[in-house]
Amino acid sequence: MIYNVAQLDRVFLEIGPLTIYWYGVIIATGAAIGLWLAMKEADRLRLNKEILIDFIVFAVPIAIIFARIYYVIFEWERYATGPWWGVFAIWEGGIAIHGAVIGGVLTAIVFARVKNISFWQLADILAPSLILAQAIGRWGNFMNQEAHGGPIAEESIAAFYRVLPDFIMNQMTIDGVTYHPTFLYESTWNILVFILLLLLRRMNVLRGEIFLSYIIFYSIGRYFIEGMRTDSLYVVGELRAAQLLSILLIILGIILIIYRRKTTNVRYNDVPLSEKKSTKYHNKASKKKKRK
């Protein structure tokens, strides 16, 4: 059976020598929607939105840098033999979400210390935004025809076409071979995790549990989907980096939830994350006035 649907162009816009790719547009769109969602939540909680904006200004570029560094480290042999600028050619794809998460978490820890706010509350507010941005960002992989799985069995291709739109299946057909759209599997899983996090938010769970649930459930899905992919980064031999890290994150997330349930009773909606309303900031301001 032959399916004759034009494949999608990776290029979004060309202005003279400047080429803008769909990959970057989709990633940026996911980040923008995630920020909008976080700002809406800040409004709901009557928090100081400037804190979130300040954090995003630092976190986004650092997360992208870490995502690229993570990818290049595990693909160093490929980049070592190519042109030096290939290391920076992020528009061609090649960023790892685990690297972005590591960079974002480290930034949040430092930022929370500097601002004297709760890391866990900051992480809880941003977790749904992060998983939604990841769900959207996977479509950038789709446009680049990457992050796909192995070939779909010939006898199953027709069944896939009956379930999925032609444009998805055709874009996943590369050099005459149709591959599993694992980008779609992960995007769908991330949407389900996003819904779960919103439900946990409504339940007003203990502070930190929304973020830790994101870590655990995203890692569960990533572990199984990673096993289907053909472009995995490897640690040693056939050991996939994403699967190893997913296992470690699941274990760490469970341990931290158990620990926090024994050491805190502060819930998600408690103690506003606001420089203007926070007791700590209020006390500091009062002391300064007294000194004057």
Instruction: Tell me whether residue 138 is annotated as binding.
Output: yes
Position 82 in a domain = no
Question: Judging by beta carbons within 10 Å of its beta carbon (0-12, 13-18, 19+), is residue 65 exposed, middle or buried?
Answer: middle
Position 155 in a domain = yes
Position 241 in a domain = yes
Alpha-carbon gap, residue 73 to 60, rounded angstroms: 20
Instruction: Find the helix packing angle between 97-115 and 49-74, rounded to 10°.
Output: 140
Position 97 in a domain = no
Q: Which structural domain, as residue segments, surrounds residue 164?
A: 17-47+117-276
Q: What is the pTM of this model?
A: 0.85
Alpha-carbon gap, residue 124 to 206, rounded angstroms: 10
Position 191 in a domain = yes
Q: Please count the structural domains in the chain.
A: 1
Q: Show pLDDT as tens, one digit a residue, over the chain (292 residues).
A: 445 557 888 898 889 888 888 988 998 999 999 999 999 998 888 888 888 899 999 998 999 899 888 888 877 777 777 676 667 766 665 678 899 999 999 999 999 999 999 999 999 999 999 999 999 999 999 998 988 999 999 899 999 989 999 999 999 999 889 999 999 999 999 999 999 999 999 999 999 999 999 999 999 999 999 999 988 888 877 889 899 999 999 999 999 999 999 999 999 988 656 544 444 444 444 444 444 4
Matching residue, tokens 């506003």? 272
CB atoms inside a 10 Å sphere around CB 227: 13
> Do the Cβ atoms of 228 and 150 come closer than 8 Å?
yes
Position 4 in a domain = no
Position 291 in a domain = no
Cα angle, residue 37 at apex, residues 90 and 212 outer, rounded to 5°: 80
Position 68 in a domain = no
Q: How far is CA 210 from CA 19, 188, 201, in A?
A: 39, 19, 7
Structure tokens at 129: 């935004």
> Do the Cβ atoms of 169 and 152 come closer than 8 Å?
no
